[in-house]
Amino acid sequence: MRYLSTRGHAESQAFCDILLGGLAPDGGLYLPEIYPQVSAAELAEWRELPYHALALRVLQKFIDDIPACDLKTLVDRTYTAQTYRWCRAGRDAGDITPLTTLAPGFHLLELSNGPTLAFKDMAMQLLGNLFEYVLDKRHETINILGATSGDTGSAAEYAMRGKRGVRVFMLSPHGKMSAFQRAQMYSLADANIFNIAITAMFDDCQDIVKAVSNDAAFKARYKIGAVNSINWARVAAQVVYYFKGYFEASKSNDQHVDFCVPSGNFGNICAGHIARMMGLPIGRLVLATNENDVLDEFFRTGVYRPRSTAETCVTSSPSMDISKASNFERFVFDLVGRDADVVRELWKEVDAGRSFDLSKTPYFAKLPQYGFVSGRSTHADRLATIRDVWQKYGTMIDTHTADAVKVAREHVDARTPMVVLETAQPVKFAETIQEALGRDPMRPAELEGIENLPQRVAVMPADAEAVKAFVVRHCG
């Protein structure tokens, strides 16, 4: 399997060569040259597999430059009941992404049972093991530099902690994350994890990462890498749970299943699009946004208008607070018939801070054939949905999942099962749960009191040079 860039200029690459990088050299995103297909016989065999075995089958379609026995070891080590142990009570221990049925034909797929209680663990834990394996083979090291407003940073740190050849330098906005999120990250004692709290906003953290990465000499000398949501391996790992969710929610492989996905950077739902392109019988992909509705606007109108920083608001589903969606280019590449020239022209506009409008093009007319529909949710909707799901079904959901449940309900079709992806556990967003339910969310016993553990974090001003100096000091 070779990978090409959505902007058409880069040489095609093998999986391991794009694993450690981010963007293609031409500024595009990597995608498989052709989507691997699943046969009816494969679907029949895969239906009964436990998660780790299913993951191997799916990932083998995308990864042909790691020997099968090595890949099996990495995948088996990643998807264990021990790592994904925070399933709600009473589950079969091997079932790491259980399906909860709320009402007939309406389900939640739990993806937040990993170490940081958000779905990002599903892919990031695999990335940690893949990085260690490939770096070891190549006798290389990497210094991951990232910015986080919460979920991504902790998922990256828990995936990379203790990994040979990897250091993580994670910037977060000082005092802007919840006490629980701070405790999750800053209490890690591993020698290869470095937390840096920047006395500014998340966007300033991101700007520092960009500034450091744009210093080509520094980047090469200190082997600066990233694990952000455009990383292809993360998208590939996420394809697996669409298969799992499909099998859980259907009785036979001639049925269709709809999925609803709370979306920010379009990474999660992009994996659903790819599963559908591989031949998994997904009916519709329902995209849910919060008040930051750039994607909902596109799927309704054909206009993609990235927002300014001033227009982007902080919401109670903060992991979906985006001004533009970094993985969206992957879908548009398919939508325009994989014409890299068209993508390049469109992103010339986006990169200059402008919008593009496909509404009067034949591409927009093709949207339904990709199954996409969309909707948006607000703070009031989240509160009402969390309350309703709690009162009706006794299930507590987090704010992001609530956005998806709200939008999914607007799109249910009585003949097709709907699977809502549950992307985080409520304990991560306790304030809003309090506001909705007047009670605290439950938390896994092992995480009781993590706010009281000693914390390790360097506080710094928003200054790229200071961050570079810190990296240099800690690279030995």
Ligand X SMILES: *Cc1c(COP(=O)(O)O)cnc(C)c1O
- CA–chain centroid gap for 376, Å, is 19
The answer to whether 437 touches 387, Cβ cutoff 8 Å, is: yes
Task: Give the residue carrying structure tokens 């297909």.
Answer: 37
Task: Give the residue carrying structure tokens 């090595």.
Answer: 70
Find the shortest distance in angstroms from Cβ 36 to ligand X. 21
Counting runs of H as helices and runs of E as strands, what totals does the chain give? 19, 15
State the alpha helices, DSSP H only, in 63-139.
68-78, 120-138
Q: With respect to ligand X, which residue has the nearer C-beta, 165 or 426?
A: 426
Q: With respect to ligand X, which residue has the nearer C-beta, 18 or 294?
A: 294
Find the shortest distance in angstroms from Cβ 126 to ligand X. 15
Find the shortest distance in angstroms from Cβ 388 to ligand X. 19
Q: With respect to ligand X, which residue has the nearer C-beta, 28 or 153?
A: 153
Annotated catalytic residue 163? no
3-state class of 379 per DSSP? helix
Find the shortest distance in angstroms from Cβ 235 to ligand X. 9
Tokens of 181: 């999120």
Cα–Cα distance, 249 to 255 (Å, whole number): 10
Q: With respect to ligand X, which residue has the nearer C-beta, 46 or 298?
A: 298
Q: With respect to ligand X, which residue has the nearer C-beta, 132 or 291?
A: 291
- Element holding 52 (H helix, E strand): helix 51-60
> DSSP states of 361-376 as a string?
SHHHHTGGGGTEEEEE
Q: With respect to ligand X, which residue has the nearer C-beta, 284 or 468?
A: 284
- Residue 475: Cβ within 10 Å count: 13
Find the shortest distance in angstroms from Cβ 255 to ligand X. 26
Tokens of 246: 């499909």
Find the shortest distance in angstroms from Cβ 244 to ligand X. 17
Find the shortest distance in angstroms from Cβ 270 to ligand X. 7
Find the shortest distance in angstroms from Cβ 296 to ligand X. 12
- Element holding 19 (H helix, E strand): helix 15-19
Cα–Cα distance, 414 to 473 (Å, whole number): 60
Q: With respect to ligand X, which residue has the nearer C-beta, 13 or 423?
A: 423
Cα–Cα distance, 36 to 63 (Å, whole number): 11
Largest Cα span, the chain:
61
Q: With respect to ligand X, which residue has the nearer C-beta, 6 or 425?
A: 425
Burial environment of residue 284 by CB neighbours within 10 A (0 to 12, 13 to 18, 19 or more): buried
The answer to whether 377 touches 405, Cβ cutoff 8 Å, is: no
Residues of this chain that bind ligand X (CB under 6 A): 118, 120, 151, 229, 262-268, 319-320, 400, 423-424
What are the C-alpha distances in Å from 178 to residues 264, 318, 381? 19, 11, 21
Residue number with the smallest Cβ distance to ligand X: 267
Cα–Cα distance, 423 to 110 (Å, whole number): 7
Closest CA to 97 of 119, 115, 78: 119
Q: Catalytic pick from 61, 72, 120, 406?
A: 120
> Which of the residues are catalytic?
120
